[in-house]
Structure 1
Amino acid sequence: MPKETRTFAIIGLGAFGSAVASELARFGNTVMGIDQDEARVAKLADALTSTVILDATDEQALREAGVDRYDVALVAIGHDIESSILATMNVRVLGVDQLWVKAINKTHHRILSKLGADRIILPEQEMGRHVAQRLNNPVVQDYVNLGNGFSVVTMAVPERLKGRLLSSLDFEHYDLRLLGLMRGTEFHPCETEGLELAPQDKLLVLGRRPDLRSFGDAL
């Protein structure tokens, strides 16, 4: 069965919007990029399915571009809060199934929430937390915040644990759940018998942040 893809309209092709659009296209999705800046649009013309130069504060222009026919719209307009709000209102009126919006600050976030955005992103804050997590504990390679205090964390296995059995690590003591282990591009389920740890291995662990931090410190 072929992989199901979705259609995405990315409004605002600055650094953030361009990165999102390019990655979505690389994954094989149908992606339309929209911006007022001709140079930004031209830069992504070959990478995306389609690109359009228009003012997203103009509802009719968005409608004529066919934004209402896309599954997901991301409003990624930079530091112009007024334009971001107007574009968000227009996309909401067009009835796109999912609306994601980049926020600049908490006030902007509150306004977008009132407008009915399905997901609001504060990229600098999210990246700041991500960097702090890695700086705080060098074994933490990556993490995904699941909400309600829970995260999935990728932890590097330190050299001193080389040869130790995966089953010997006490996750229950820290109220954590081991999801599995990555060795290169291979995934090993946590139930794998007799699996010895190697320095390049990465543990995928689910739990609350304080428990993950305590385990990481002990690791």
Structure 2
Amino acid sequence: MPKETRSFAVLGLGGFGSTVALELARFGNRVIGADLDERKVSRMVPHLHSAIILDATDEAAMREAGIDRYDVALVAIGRDIKASILATMNLRLLGVGTIWSKASDRTHHRILSKLGADRVILPEQEMGRHSAQMLHNPAVQDYVSLGNGFSVVNIIVPEKLDGEAVSALAIGSEHDIRLLGIMRGTEYLEGVGEETLLEQGDKLIMLGRRADLRQFGRRL
């Protein structure tokens, strides 16, 4: 298998799991999707490298299906907390290198973390925070949390800054943030400097602490 691709096993093909599996496959990765529901599996067959009916709580069945040969596994099992826990345990026993698991609440999150999941996701809460950031500041189009209070955000250049130089943003003098780059439409601008002229609608790719980024966004 080419080194630039990775292999992923997605266990649970509900709304969340199927979306992740399809996106990973779209990026050119080798993806196997597994679920107990035959209908969910059938829907994924044309789109994934493999889609199988599988009981993720059965370690022997997981091994027979070759789940241990995948680089990364995502436990996307929905409301069945017991099945989610057992699936995560089985992946650890199988020696899968990287395990992500979906949690339904904070208690479930703590259990999965203790079992050795490399990352535990609370999709509704994470999407809630994501939406709140954008609702709070309409200039913020998207953001990614990096942990320790740092985020990367896309901030749209407003009409009042059209034609102004990057220096007008006063990034270094007034705000403890960094400009990583500028997207203009579908083009990434190379060699952005203090004299680069901004255009309305440009996306500023900014790195900094959330409070500093919010303050910067409000000033724009």
Q: What's the TM-score once normalised by structure 1's chain length?
A: 0.97
Kept after mapping to 1: 8 A contact 2:182/2:192: no
State the alpha-carbon separation in 1 of the partners of residues 12 and 33 from structure 2: 7
Quote the RMSD (CA, aligned, Å): 1.2
State the alpha-carbon separation in 1 of the partners of residues 138 and 204 from structure 2: 14
Structure 1, gaps ≥5 residues long:
none
| Alignment partner, residue 210 of structure 2 | 209
Kept after mapping to 2: 8 A contact 1:133/1:140: yes
Displacement of 1:166: 1.6
State the alpha-carbon separation in 1 of the partners of residues 136 and 45 from structure 2: 40
Q: What CA deviation, in whole Å up to 9, does each residue of 1:52-100 have, x standing for no partner?
A: 1011111111110000000000000001101100111111100000000
| Alignment partner, residue 58 of structure 1 | 58
| Alignment partner, residue 181 of structure 2 | 180
State the alpha-carbon separation in 1 of the partners of residues 166 and 12 from structure 2: 46
Q: What CA deviation, in whole Å up to 9, does each residue of 1:2-29 have, x standing for no partner?
A: 7610000000000000000000000000
Runs of 4+ in 1 over 2 A off after TM superposition: 189-195
State the alpha-carbon separation in 2 of the partners of residues 200 and 183 from structure 1: 7
Q: How does 1:82-121 map to 2 (within 5 A)?
A: 82-121=82-121
Kept after mapping to 2: 8 A contact 1:179/1:190: no
| Alignment partner, residue 194 of structure 1 | 195
Displacement of 1:168: 2.1
Is residue 142 of structure 1 aligned with residue 142 of structure 2? yes
Q: Match of 1:140, as an amino acid?
A: V
| Alignment partner, residue 77 of structure 2 | 77
- Structure 1 residues 143 and 190 mapped into 2: Cα distance closer, same or farther (>3 Å)? farther
Displacement of 1:199: 1.3
Q: Match of 2:24, as an amino acid?
A: L
Displacement of 1:41: 0.3
**Identical pairs, percent:** 65
Q: Match of 2:214, as an amino acid?
A: R
State the alpha-carbon separation in 1 of the partners of residues 192 and 71 from structure 2: 38
Q: SS of 2:208's equivalent? A: strand
Is residue 30 of structure 1 aligned with residue 56 of structure 2? no
Q: What CA deviation, in whole Å up to 9, does each residue of 1:176-205 have, x standing for no partner?
A: 111111001111246346322111200001
State the alpha-carbon separation in 2 of the partners of residues 142 and 190 from structure 1: 23
State the alpha-carbon separation in 2 of the partners of residues 3 and 193 from structure 1: 38
Q: Match of 1:209, as an amino acid?
A: R
Q: What CA deviation, in whole Å up to 9, does each residue of 1:103-122 have, x standing for no partner?
A: 11000000001100001111
State the alpha-carbon separation in 1 of the partners of residues 66 and 3 from structure 2: 24
Q: SS of 1:9's equivalent? A: strand
State the alpha-carbon separation in 2 of the partners of residues 74 and 3 from structure 1: 20
Q: What's the TM-score once normalised by structure 2's chain length?
A: 0.96
Q: What CA deviation, in whole Å up to 9, does each residue of 1:17-58 have, x standing for no partner?
A: 000000000000000000000000000100000011011111
